[in-house]
Structure 1
Amino acid sequence: MANESSVSTRLASHVAQFRNNSWDPDVLRRTELCLLDSLSCYSAGLSLKHFEPSIAVAGKLLSPSSNGYRSKDRFSSFAMAYLYGQAANSLDYDDTLFGHPGAPIIGAVLSVGAREGLSLDRLLRGISAGYEAHTVLGAASVPSHERAAQVRSVGVWDTVAASIGVGVALDFDDSMLERVIGVAVAHSLLPYTAKWYERPVPAVKNNLGWAAAGAVLSIDLVTAGQTGVTRALDGDAGMWQMAGSDRWDFEQALDEKPAVLRVGFKAFPVCWHLQEYLKTLSQLLKNISPDDEIVEIVLTGPDEVEKFCEPDILGTADVAFSLPAAFSLLISGVEPGPQWDSVNDQPAVLRYRDVFRYERSGDRTIIIHVRKGLASSAAVGLSDSVDLAPWGLDAEGVLAKHERLSDAALCAAVAAALPAGSPSVRNVVPDRLYAVVERMMTDRESELEARKP
């Protein structure tokens, strides 16, 4: 048994397929969509009120006056990763699969890519490898239902996965990736507790900025010669215990289908558990005549749904976890995006919360009663937790979301990096994309400074 490969060794070997192998066209395109979707959520998240403390404080606290960037950018790579990770997740519109892989992984890979002048190809390789590591570790440590009700481990694997992603982007060999894992586990977040869904939902509900920044720090420590925990993922004392799980099955987690092909892109800026309810509602609304009026909405579902049926919005992050509020916004015709985060100033668009009613049931359904007395109803689907892709937006939906949410300069920078009709993989440094992502941060910081009395 002494010669048996450690889990870290096997994980490093598993993600090595993304280091320099020829791209599978489907994996490549899906990785591009992961980047596009994350940039969209980042652009939208920058404007949110509950993101303001992050940019106002972290922008200064984490950025030295001289940081060694080759392009003399304002923020250090550590600060850039932190701010990107927090902004991309703040609206809860970012992709999902065993948590939120995009915000921390893309935040870390982009920030180091900007510092090191990495090509688009290296960026995409790092992103794909990071998603793979994130999914393998998340799947290997899925807790029992009883344990999951006590501890939420969202975010625990993010720093490890993002570190692996950056390592692959930098073309680290397997032995270096093993060292990265050993250092990254010591910089990882502890799991959340059962307070997860209690309101008001905290603005820092997922500390994905810290996870992304921790990955940058881990990479730089390893590069400087730091060593970490040996065989950190092995045995009864492996990190899965720290992750709050009561189960660990690494071999079963090594699915043949790459993680980027299984990630789900959100149609609505709410928790993934609410997506199918909103999709079903959007279809039912098509059956209601414009001259009719909804008088009652009945939602049925198991006990686990009830926590999403609280109508009160006590904090700016609550909408993403409140079906009555999200339903009301959708019925009122408010476009999904940053406007969903500022509804406290728009009481009229929340009026349908008053006609919302939850009933405990083993069936997941929505029933809508209208003034004319005709009821519409539909069953609500339940997505596959290990493959969310069929339940999320398709490529066309991701592109439309990107055009709708992204800053015009960001859209132009993405178009330059990924021109339509041209080969996607190029050994060209997307300097314009790097510059725009950071400029958006500095502009937001300057805006807040200007508003100070």
Structure 2
Amino acid sequence: MNEGTVSAELINRMRCFVDADWDPAIRRRTELCLIDSISCFSAGLGLAHFKPSAVVAPSLFGTNAANDDTSTLSPFLAAYLYGQAANALDYDDTLLGHPGAPIIGAILAVAARERLPMDRLLRGIAAGYEAHWILASSAIPSRERAALVRSVGVWDTVAASIGIAISFGRSSEFLERLVGVAVAHSLLPYTAKWYERPVPALKNNLGWAAAGAVMAVGLVEAGQTGVSNALDGASGMWRMAGSDQCDLTRTRKDQPAVARVGFKQFPACWHLQEYLKSFSISLQQLTDNEEIVAITVKGPAEVEKFCRRDIIVPADVAFSLPATFSLLLAGVEPGSQWDAVANHSPALRYKDRFVFDLSEERSVTLELTSGRLITADVAVSDPTDLASFGLDEKGVLAKSERLTPSPLRSALDMAFTSTHGDPAQLYEAVARMIIRTCQGKPLDHVL
């Protein structure tokens, strides 16, 4: 393996996650990634457009959902359903994609089978995020190419498989072979059709990305070989990902990926988050006697696709400023209820007061019945470091309180605080939630 290649960068930066001392702040940030992901997984399990996965997958991927024995849940199925559910509401974390859903889904599924301790689980998660960052950032296409091809999800299987391997403490040689097998299980890039309406429920297919990682690791452990030197050269995976360039210098940051990931405040695309924050702050300035007459959003051309009013299927809501603004105005708490509305819903009655104004400025202006205008500027987040633009620790914990059943929160807390970091109850609780969802049973009591 040549120095200066993507493969060398990847393998070298994985070594510190195997057994090096943890920086307490980085470990805690990794814990927050797990907490937030489980919150989004919990919310996603009950969504209508997730249910087909829960109905079909068990009969194909190996479990007997007729009983509550969690030992019947295969890692492949657990990873698939976790990845799909965690991303279903578009509430999961973001950093050049959605790393948490596939990486945590895959590692949790295999760790549960092996009963890995919490320290190994967290090391694998942190390594998976770092691998995802290295791969995705090195292959960012030019602006012209990016307008033609999207590669959201294409790196997820490789990154998640590396996270599994690091959680097991596997060697650099194992990682090299694993990458060659994982690329063969990776999603291909696709054009940005999912910005059109209706938005597909499987817009990212992160369940398949997570399950592919489980399969790739199992195959390598059984002796399977794959593509040689898969990441490098003129035909490296960066071309498979649809990019027209590969630049390792973009991968080197002062803080690891888990420290730069953004936790969402709203169940909507990251491109909407800053607009939603500005709008919610403006709402606090209204008096009891004022009503909104019009909402004007200013922004560049790439914002206009998020300003469509029609809500044809539930997934459209996460990509519509008129819809999400209306939900905030109607007082609907951010969460799974944002997925339960349609065009005729009273909660969306305000979206017809919405106007988009093409501009290089980014702002939200409210025109009120009193004649007042309230204008708020909209920030632009740094795509390489979203931490300061998302929820802080307090916000992540509050989100968990709202979305995660209390038995699962208790199991997670116990795994973090126990002397030996034993996550057995966490593994059991996640598995039971998946099985009960497949059975169509409520999730309020999962232990």
**Same fold, judged at TM 0.5 (above):** yes
- 1:72–1:347 Cα change, 3 Å: closer
Whether 2:440 is the aligned partner of 1:441: answer: no
Verify the 8 A CA contact 1:78 1:111 in the aligned structure 2: yes
Secondary structure of 1:186's counterpart equals helix
Q: Which runs of 5+ in 2 are unaligned?
A: 443-447
The equivalent residue for 1:60 is 59
Q: Which moved more, 1:286-295 or 1:321-330?
A: 286-295
- Rounded to whole Å, the distance in 1 between the matches of 2:111 and 2:344 is 41
Question: Any idea what the Cα deviations from partners look like across 1:20-56, whole Å, max 9, x if unmatched?
Answer: 1000111101000000000000000001000000000
Q: Which runs of 5+ in 1 are unaligned?
A: none
Shift, 1:444, TM fit: 1.2
- For the aligned residue pairs, the C-alpha RMSD in angstroms reads 1.6
Number of paired residues? 439
CA separation in 2, counterparts of 1:45 and 1:4? Answer: 42
**Contact residue 307 and residue 356 of structure 2 kept, 8 A:** yes
TM-score of the aligned structures, taking structure 1 as reference length: 0.94
Aligned equivalents of 2:45, 2:315: Cα separation in 1: 14
Aligned equivalent of 2:378: 380
Question: How much does 1:9 deviate?
Answer: 3.4
Q: Which amino acid aligns with 2:46?
A: S
In 1, Cα distance between equivalents of 2:200 and 2:283: 31
Retained in 2: the 8 A contact 1:298–1:356? yes
Flag as ranges the 4+ runs of structure 1 deviating above 4 A: 2-6
| 1-structure distance, mates of 2:70, 2:152 | 35
Q: Pick which of 186-195 and 5-14 moved more.
A: 5-14
In the TM superposition, residue 246 of structure 1 has moved relative to its aligned partner by 1.1
Give the equivalent residue in structure 1 for 2:246.
248
SS at match of 2:440: helix
2:405 matched residue in structure 1:
407
3-state SS of paired residue (2:293): strand
Counterpart for residue 211 of structure 1: 209
1:17 pairs with 2:16: yes
Deviation at 1:231, TM superposition (A): 0.8
Q: Which residue of 2 aligns with 1:47?
A: 46
In the TM superposition, what is the alpha-carbon distance from 1:303 to its structure 2 partner? 0.4
**Contact 1:74–1:442, Cα closer than 8 Å, also in 2:** no
* Gap change, CA 1:64 and 1:439, over 3 Å in 2: closer
**C-alpha deviation, 1:15, in angstroms:** 1.2
Task: After TM superposition, give the deviation of residue 12 of structure 1 in Å.
Answer: 1.4
CA distance in 2 between counterparts of 1:394 and 1:151 reads: 33
TM-score (norm 2): 0.95
CA distance in 2, matches of 1:257, 1:107: 23
Q: 1:258 aligned to 2:295?
A: no
Give the secondary-structure state (helix, strand or coil) at the position aligned to 1:189.
coil
Distance in 1 between residues matched to 2:230 and 2:51, nearest whole Å: 36
Residue pair 1:365, 1:378 contacting (<8 A) in 2 also: yes
Where do residues 349-368 of structure 1 align in structure 2 (5 Å cutoff)? 349-368=347-366
User: 1:51 is matched by which residue type in structure 2?
Assistant: F
In 2, the alpha carbon distance for the partners of 1:9 and 1:74 equals: 39
Tell me the equivalent position of 2:165.
167
Shift of 1:65: 5.4
CA contact (8 A) 2:70 2:435 kept: no
SS of the residue aligned with 1:317? helix
TM superposition shift of 1:428: 3.5
The match for 1:267 among 265, 268, 289 is: 265
Q: 1:322 aligns with which of 315, 320, 324?
A: 320
The one-character-per-residue Cα deviations of 1:297-325 (angstroms, maximum 9, x if unpaired) are 00010000000000010111000000000
Cα displacement (A) at 1:290: 2.1
Q: Which amino acid aligns with 2:8?
A: T
Q: In the alignment, which residue of structure 2 is the partner of 1:101?
A: 99
Matches within 5 A, 1:203-352: 203-344=201-342, 347-352=345-350
Q: Confirm or deny: 8 A CA contact 2:124 2:163 kept in the other structure.
A: yes
Q: Is the 8 A contact 1:328 1:351 kept in 2?
A: yes
Q: CA deviation at 1:3?
A: 5.6
Q: 2:42 is matched by which residue type in structure 1?
A: S
Structure 1 counterpart of 2:424: 431
Equivalent residue in structure 1 for 2:194, among 190, 193, 196 = 196
State whether residues 160 and 210 of structure 2, in contact with CA within 8 Å, keep that contact through their aligned partners in structure 1.
yes
Residue identity (%): 57
Contact 2:75–2:214 under 8 Å retained in 1: yes
